């Protein structure tokens, strides 16, 4: 297949840009790690509070040697997967219900905003008392942090759907379910994926 010189130059420019971005990302990471280690060695920062890259590496090696590293990783992944599935499912379900019922959304929306703004990490001691000092309390904290963000993001995407499409569907006497399944949900698929990406980062914060 023939490729013109302009096309080749364009592809080369894109490839060079990707390499440039990757190298600078790596350099920024390395600069951060080296700076962190230097500050720790010079005792400019408190290593008890901030640790250091070498201490982190030595801890990982120690956990690997005593066989507990993969156990810790497995438990953390289990917590993340469970909380991600629950928060995503609940977020999508409640967002859909709020979109379908305007009156309910007007009633609930202020409470969602308030609940989302709560200092959830500060509730940690209470969550331990309510749920217990176990995996359940960690999952509960993760759900508390991620679920409301997911609901708000997906719901805002749903209500921002192009009104012309909805009016067109209504002119054909489409039901709410048909409008949702044929217009609202498909047109916001990318926004839902973006919301889920934010959701998993919130899950990690919860962990």
- Strands annotated E in 97-193: none
Q: What tens digit of pLDDT does each residue of 54-78 get? A: 999 999 999 888 888 888 888 888 9
Residue written as tokens 């590293």? 69
Mean pLDDT of 37-44: 90
Contact (CB, 8 A) for 83 and 203: yes
Is the pLDDT confidence value at 31 over 90? Answer: yes
What CATH architecture is 68-207? Orthogonal Bundle (1.10)
Tokens 């308030």 belong to residue? 114
Q: What whole-number distance in Å separates Cα of residue 187 and Cα of residue 20?
A: 34
Whole-prediction pTM: 0.73
Residues 6 or more apart from 168 whose CB is under 8 A from it?
Answer: none
Give residue limits of the domains in the chain.
1-67, 68-207
């Amino acid at each position: 297949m023939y490729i013109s010189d302009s096309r080749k130059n364009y592809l080369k420019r894109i490839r060079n840009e990707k390499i440039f971005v990757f190298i600078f990302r790596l350099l920024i990471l390395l600069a951060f790690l080296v700076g962190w280690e230097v500050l720790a060695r010079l005792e400019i920062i408190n290593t008890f509070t901030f640790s250091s890259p070498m201490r982190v590496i030595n801890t990982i090696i120690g956990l690997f040697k005593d066989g507990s590293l993969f156990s810790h990783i497995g438990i953390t992944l289990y917590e993340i997967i469970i909380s991600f599935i629950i928060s995503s499912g609940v977020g999508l379900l409640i967002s859909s219900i709020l979109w379908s019922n305007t009156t309910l959304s007007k009633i609930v929306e202020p409470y969602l905003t308030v609940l989302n703004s709560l200092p959830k990490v500060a509730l940690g001691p209470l969550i331990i008392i309510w749920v217990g000092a176990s995996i359940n309390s960690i999952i509960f904290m993760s759900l508390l942090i991620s679920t409301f963000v997911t609901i708000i993001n997906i719901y805002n995407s749903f209500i921002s759907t192009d009104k012309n499409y909805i009016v067109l569907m209504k002119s054909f006497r489409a039901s709410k379910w048909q409008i949702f399944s044929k217009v609202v949900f498909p047109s916001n698929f990318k926004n839902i994926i973006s919301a889920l990406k934010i959701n998993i980062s919130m899950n990690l914060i919860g962990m």
